[in-house]
Structure 1
Amino acid sequence: MFGRVRAWGSGHRRLVDGLAIAPLLLLCALALPAYTGSMSPGGRALGIPGYVLLSAALLVPLIWRRARPVQMFAVIALVCFGQWLAGVQPIPANLAVFVAMYGVAARCALRWAVAAGAVVELGLILALVRWEVAVQPIAVISGSFFVLSPWIAGIYANTRRRYLESLEERAERAERERDQQARIATAAERARIARELHDVVAHNVSVMIVQADGAGFAIGTDPEQARQALQTISRTGRQALAEMRRLVGMLRQDGQEEDYAPQPGVAQLDDLVAQVRRSGMAVEFSVGGTPIDLPEGEQLVIYRVVQEALTNTLKHGGPGARARVEMTYSGREVLLQVTDDGRGAAAPRSIDGHGLIGMRERVAMYDGSVRASPVPGGGFQVNVRLPVSRAA
């Protein structure tokens, strides 16, 4: 609701600024009888037309106090000075000069705020000299306090506004840098894998192709040469396989040797959940819909997404965090939701973590989508939509 009010106010600033001076208008209206038929010491009374015109000259410029604060203050100060020269007694609308000073202090540089405060203080002294029979120190001190209060409030508002703007700018810059770092990391990882694959595969496969062509031509006329070519193909294939294993081992981050167990799939989700439970975190796992046989690639994607989401909960969820994994077979797609009740947006994020990036890339290979975001009130949620391939 407050967001709507703020948005409406941003779109109707002139109207909001006009409504803000309504209390002063009401005060001027209530004081109209007292200031049109009496005379103060050293001053002369105003008629109703003069009172209305002077009040309008002092209050109407306040409408531009946010758009043009310096010009608005200058107009009101000049009107007050003209009123002093003419010997017209102060009226409630003269309070506009304090509102104008606050606007300058709240929206302009410090030098303009100091200048506005000095002008108002000088005007106060001039008013005391003219309309006070004897200027008492206590009157000057109390009047100066009345000037300093809105001036200090304006300085504080200005400082706080600039601080909030700097925080917003810093947050936007951090978000841009984070996205840029993620793109750089993704591009660098892809480039490194592409280089490694090219170095490992291109030469060996080229040799195997050449040897296979040679064996095909020589198999009828020179069996010995064909046999040597097949031996070269076998040796080169083994070498390429060893290089590929080395590449996979280099890409692994845990430093363990590569094992040759089958890739995990949907059937191993129960084991994964049990493993996380043994680590001390409570996890609920449910499957809905009618299960279907999925290709191994899609099963591996589902397993890795659940594994990464639960790992993030263990890392960032905090003590006592609980997780819930829901997998639903829905027609031609599989819906996956992993939710936890941990720290959510308050959890510290690692600047070099690429788990969510890898998760999105795995799902994107099968034309799926991933949405990962903090949950209002605490926690984090990962939603995955994975279309079922025709092979299923």
Structure 2
Amino acid sequence: MFGRVRAWGSRHGRLVDVLVMVPLVLLCLVSTENYDGTGHLPGTIGLSLLGYLALSAVLIAPLVWRRSRPVQVFAAIALIAFAQWLAPLEPVPADIVVLVAMYGVAAYRPLRWALAAGAIAELGACLMMVRWGRPSLLAFASGSVFVVATWIGGIYANTRRRYLESLEERAERAEHERDQQARIATAAERARIARELHDVVAHNVSVMIVQADGAGYTIDSDPEQARRAVQTISSTGRQALAEMRRLVAVLRQDDAHEEDYAPQPGVADLDELMAHIRQSGLPVHFTVSGTHRDLPEGEQLVVYRIVQEALTNVLKHGGPDARARVEMNYGPGDIMLRVTDDGRGAAAPRSIDGHGLIGMRERVAMYDGSVQASPCPGGGFQVTVRLPVSRAA
């Protein structure tokens, strides 16, 4: 609640300053009830009712700029009060604005300005005691209490405001760094996906070369011309594979070792993945429903990587007694993949950057699919993926 009030005050600073003036104006107006009808207020020297109202207005008016120009406002009010002391005109209720202006300097300006304003306000209190009070140690101490208390209040407000601004700045910086890390993770994940898909293409080209070489030795009709055509296909395929390998080499220039251009894992490798996960200590139940269909290797890779990432997250965050369930359903035009566990769910200390989830969304988005990942109401975590396969079919 206090945070909302502070935020509202920051957005409507001028209105807050005007509201601060309202009690002072009311105090000055209430004091006019003592007007004795002779043209002067009781207890004042040469000050008529009109002069009293004018002096009060001149003292209060600068408070409109109390926060935007605190030093100038305090200087103006202090000079007016000093001129009032020189006149001499006895103190009026509006003289309390000296403390209000001093508070503004202490609350919104560095310590050196606060010390100067406090010293001037203390000097003004002493001068007032000398002229209109009964000078004594107790009187000076009583007057100083109000000045020092107001000054300390301003210093505390200044310190707290700077602390809150520092917290907000650090929160904004942390949010910016988190967004930047997420963008970096997204770029890295896209690069990794591109490498894997290029591996798939490279493997297909390798198969094409093998088939073309075999065809060159099996075609019997006009074998010479067929052999030349097939050899041309083989040569073109090898050139394409060489270009693909150059491209993949550029993408993999940061890798520490050479990698084989072997086929990437697919749906057929899920059973082996489940066995590996079970050996790691996580019980997994895997079910497949619907009419099985052949999928392109790219989509098979997406399915495999999502299951792998989801089960890896269960191993990392689910807790020692977690169990997982993987359900794969072949629908008429899509594949529904659901990975659930009964681990710690929302209570798990998951990483704030969520690189794994970013990778899932990037993979599925390539095939116009969707991903939903959230804690389960009764505990645990669930990842649901819908992957359209109508184009592939």
Q: TM-score, normalised by structure 1?
A: 0.64
Q: Give the distance between the partners of 1:326 and 1:92, measured in 2 at CA.
A: 79
Q: Give the distance between the partners of 1:321 and 1:139, measured in 2 at CA.
A: 75
Q: Give the distance between the partners of 1:293 and 1:56, measured in 2 at CA.
A: 87
8 A Cα contact 1:321 1:341, kept in partner: no
Q: Which residue of 1 aligns with 2:82?
A: 81
Q: Which residue of 2 aligns with 1:390?
A: 390
Q: Give the distance between the partners of 2:34 and 2:329, measured in 1 at CA.
A: 78
Q: Which residue of 2 aligns with 1:14?
A: 14
Q: Relative to structure 1, is the Cα distance of residues 389 and 207 closer, same or farther in structure 2, using a 3 angstrom cutoff?
A: closer
Q: Give the distance between the partners of 2:186 and 2:163, measured in 1 at CA.
A: 34
Q: Relative to structure 1, is the Cα distance of residues 177 and 149 closer, same or farther in structure 2, using a 3 angstrom cutoff?
A: same
Q: Give the distance between the partners of 1:359 and 1:138, measured in 2 at CA.
A: 76
Q: Give the distance between the partners of 1:48 and 1:292, measured in 2 at CA.
A: 98
Q: Relative to structure 1, is the Cα distance of residues 7 and 372 closer, same or farther in structure 2, using a 3 angstrom cutoff?
A: farther
Shift of residue 349, structure 1, vs aligned partner: 3.0
Q: Which residue of 2 aligns with 1:363?
A: 364
Q: Give the distance between the partners of 1:213 and 1:187, measured in 2 at CA.
A: 41
Range moving further from structure 2, 80-89 or 365-374: 365-374
Q: Secondary structure at the match of 2:119?
A: helix
Q: Give the distance between the partners of 2:207 and 2:299, measured in 1 at CA.
A: 31
Q: Relative to structure 1, is the Cα distance of residues 307 and 260 closer, same or farther in structure 2, using a 3 angstrom cutoff?
A: closer
Q: Relative to structure 1, is the Cα distance of residues 206 and 322 closer, same or farther in structure 2, using a 3 angstrom cutoff?
A: closer
8 A Cα contact 2:266 2:301, kept in partner: no
- The reply on whether 1:124 has 2:125 as its aligned counterpart is yes
Shift of residue 185, structure 1, vs aligned partner: 3.7
Code of the aligned partner of 1:53:
A
Q: Which residue of 1 aligns with 2:351?
A: 349
8 A Cα contact 1:294 1:388, kept in partner: no
- The reply on whether 1:61 has 2:65 as its aligned counterpart is no
Q: Relative to structure 1, is the Cα distance of residues 173 and 140 closer, same or farther in structure 2, using a 3 angstrom cutoff?
A: same
Code of the aligned partner of 2:54:
L
Range moving further from structure 2, 149-158 or 360-369: 360-369
**Structure 1 runs not aligned, ≥5 long:** 252-257, 281-290
Shift of residue 145, structure 1, vs aligned partner: 2.1
Q: Give the distance between the partners of 1:13 and 1:50, measured in 2 at CA.
A: 30
- The reply on whether 1:263 has 2:264 as its aligned counterpart is no
Q: Which residue of 1 aligns with 2:143?
A: 143
Q: Which residue of 1 aligns with 2:248?
A: none
Shift of residue 207, structure 1, vs aligned partner: 11
Shift of residue 358, structure 1, vs aligned partner: 0.8
Q: Which residue of 2 aligns with 1:152?
A: 152
Q: Relative to structure 1, is the Cα distance of residues 171 and 77 closer, same or farther in structure 2, using a 3 angstrom cutoff?
A: same
Identity of aligned residues (%): 53
Shift of residue 89, structure 1, vs aligned partner: 1.4
Q: Give the distance between the partners of 2:211 and 2:265, measured in 1 at CA.
A: 33
Q: How does 1:306-385 map to 2 (within 5 A)?
A: 315=316, 342-343=346-347, 347=349, 349=351, 354-368=355-369
Q: TM-score, normalised by structure 2?
A: 0.64
Shift of residue 299, structure 1, vs aligned partner: 8.6
Q: Secondary structure at the match of 2:351?
A: coil
Q: Relative to structure 1, is the Cα distance of residues 9 and 192 closer, same or farther in structure 2, using a 3 angstrom cutoff?
A: same
Q: Which residue of 1 aligns with 2:259?
A: none
Q: Give the distance between the partners of 1:329 and 1:213, measured in 2 at CA.
A: 36
Deviations 1:60-82 (A, max 9, x none): 21121122222221221111111
Shift of residue 181, structure 1, vs aligned partner: 2.6
Q: Which residue of 1 aligns with 2:116?
A: 115
Q: Which residue of 1 aligns with 2:25?
A: 25
Code of the aligned partner of 1:137:
L
Shift of residue 324, structure 1, vs aligned partner: 12
8 A Cα contact 2:122 2:147, kept in partner: yes
Shift of residue 321, structure 1, vs aligned partner: 11
Q: Secondary structure at the match of 1:90?
A: coil
Q: Give the distance between the partners of 1:349 and 1:47, measured in 2 at CA.
A: 73
Deviations 1:320-342 (A, max 9, x none): 99999999999999798989863
Code of the aligned partner of 1:103:
G
Shift of residue 18, structure 1, vs aligned partner: 0.8
Shift of residue 13, structure 1, vs aligned partner: 3.0
Q: Which residue of 2 aligns with 1:288?
A: none
Q: Which residue of 1 aligns with 2:165?
A: 165
Shift of residue 362, structure 1, vs aligned partner: 1.9
